[in-house]
Amino acid sequence: MIAVVAASPARPTLVRAVCVREWREALGNKLLVGMTLLPPVVILVSGIAAVAAAAVNPPSDRDVQALYAAAPAVAGLDPREAVQGFIATYFLILFMLIPTVVPLTMAIYSVIGEKASRTLEPLLATPVGVGDLLFAKSLASTVPSVIVTWSAYAIYLATVIAIGSHAAVQAVTAPRWILAIVVLVPLLTLLSVNLGILISTRVNDVRVAQQIGGLVVVPIVGLGIAQVTGRVVLDNGAFLQMTIVLILLDVAVFWLARLAFQRENILVRWR
C-alpha cells in the first residue's frame, strides 16, 4: 500500500494542472476554438490584404491630402508610402482588440462552464486556496491569448517587411509599437480575463456575459477612430500613460474578481 498524504499542492503544480485541464477542455470545445481563433485571423488577413492593396493601388490626390491632414507624421512622404505606413499603423491598433476578445471568451467559458456542469464544488473541496485557483484560471486564459496575439503580430510583421513600403516597415517595427505589443497585450489580456471572470460570477449565460464583456473593446475601437481622424497621436507619452492606466485597472479588477471568488459566495450565492 502506498503512503498517501494529502496537502495543499505547490502553486506551480496547481497552476500547471489547472492550465492543462482548461486547455484540454477548451480544445475539446469546437465553438470555443472557433470563437477564439476567428478575431485574430480576420484582423491578420484584413491587415495583410489592406497593406498589399495599398501597395498595388495608388491613392487619389484627395485621399492623400486628407491623410496628410489627419496624420502629420506621414506628411511629405510619397503618397503610396504614406498610405501604406498609415494602414500598417492602423492595423497595429486593431491587433490590440485581440487580447480583449479572445481571453474574454475563454475566461467566460472557464467559469460559466464550471457553474453549468457543477464542477466547482468538488474543486473547492480540495485543499487549494481560492486565490491560487483564480490566479491559475486567469493564467489559463491569458497565456493562449497572448501567444495568439504575438503570433498574429509576428506573421503581420514578417508579411509587411516582405511586401510593404519603407514607411510601412518603419511603422510596424517602431520600438514603441513592439514595446506596446510586448507590454500592453499581456496587460489588456489580464484585464479582459479578470473582467470575464467577474462578469461570469454574476450571470449564467455565456452570450449575456460576452455582450457585457464586449464593452471592453469600446475604448480600443475609440482609440483607433481617434487616431484615424487625427485627434490622438500615439506617441511614447501616450503609451506610457496607457501602460500605467492598464496596470491600475488590472490590479483593481483582479481585486474585485478575488472578492467575488470566495468559497462560500461561489457555493451559496452563485446561481
Partner 1 sequence: MKTVVRTEKLTKRFGDLTAVDGIDLDVHEGEVFGFLGPNGAGKTTTLRLLCALIAPTSGTAEIAGHRLGRDDAKIRAAVGILTELPGLYERQSAWDNLVFYATLYGLAPSVSRAQAERYLRLMGLWERRDEPVVTFSRGMKQKMAIARAALHEPRVLFLDEPTTGLDPDAAKTVREFIVALRGEGRTVFLCTHNLDEADRLCDRIAFFRHRVLRIANPDELRAEFYGRATEIRLVPKPRAEDLVRVQAVPGVREAHLENGSIVVASTDPLHTNPLLVKTLVDGGADIAFVTERKPHLEEVYLRIVEPIE
- Please state whether 71 falls in left (phi above 0), alpha (psi between -120 and 50) or beta: beta
How big is the CA angle at 167 (ends 164 and 173), to the nearest 5 degrees?
Answer: 80
Cβ contact 37:61 at 8 Å: no
Q: For residue 197, give every residue at least 6 positions away whose Cβ sits within 8 Å of its Cβ, in sequence order, or none.
A: 107, 110, 111, 134, 137, 138, 257, 260, 261
Half-sphere exposure (CA, 13 Å, Cβ side) for 167? 22
Name the residue nearer to partner 1 (CB basis): 87 or 140. Answer: 140
Stretch that binds partner 1, among 56-64, 140-148, 232-240, 261-269 (CB under 8 A): 261-269
Neighbours of 257 (CB within 10 A): 23
Stretch that binds partner 1, among 14-22, 73-81, 163-171, 226-234 (CB under 8 A): 14-22
**Contacting partner 1 (CB under 8 A), which of 31, 42, 66, 125?**
125
Site string for partner 1, 95-124 (x = CB under 8 A): ----------------------xxxxxxxx
Name the residue nearer to partner 1 (CB basis): 29 or 243. Answer: 29
- Cell numbers 467575488 correspond to what residue? 260
H or E, element range at 128: none
**Contacting partner 1 (CB under 8 A), which of 17, 154, 218, 252?**
17
* CB-based burial label for 160 (10 Å; 0-12, 13-18, 19+): buried
Residue 13 as a binder of partner 1 (CB under 8 A): the answer is yes
CB of 22 to partner 1, least distance (A): 10
* Integer Cα distance of 237 and 216 in angstroms: 22
CB of 136 to partner 1, least distance (A): 10
Please give the torsion angle defined by the CA atoms of residues 101, 104, 110 and 112, in that order, rounded to the nearest 10 degrees: -110
Name the residue nearer to partner 1 (CB basis): 18 or 203. Answer: 18
Name the residue nearer to partner 1 (CB basis): 3 or 56. Answer: 3
Name the residue nearer to partner 1 (CB basis): 119 or 241. Answer: 119
CB of 259 to partner 1, least distance (A): 16
**Contacting partner 1 (CB under 8 A), which of 126, 204, 236, 241?**
126
C-alpha cell at 266: 461561489
**Contacting partner 1 (CB under 8 A), which of 12, 76, 127, 175?**
127
Residue 12 as a binder of partner 1 (CB under 8 A): the answer is no
Residue 129 as a binder of partner 1 (CB under 8 A): the answer is yes
Residues that bind partner 1 (CB under 8 A): 2, 4-10, 13-14, 17, 21, 24-25, 28-29, 117-129, 263-264, 267-268
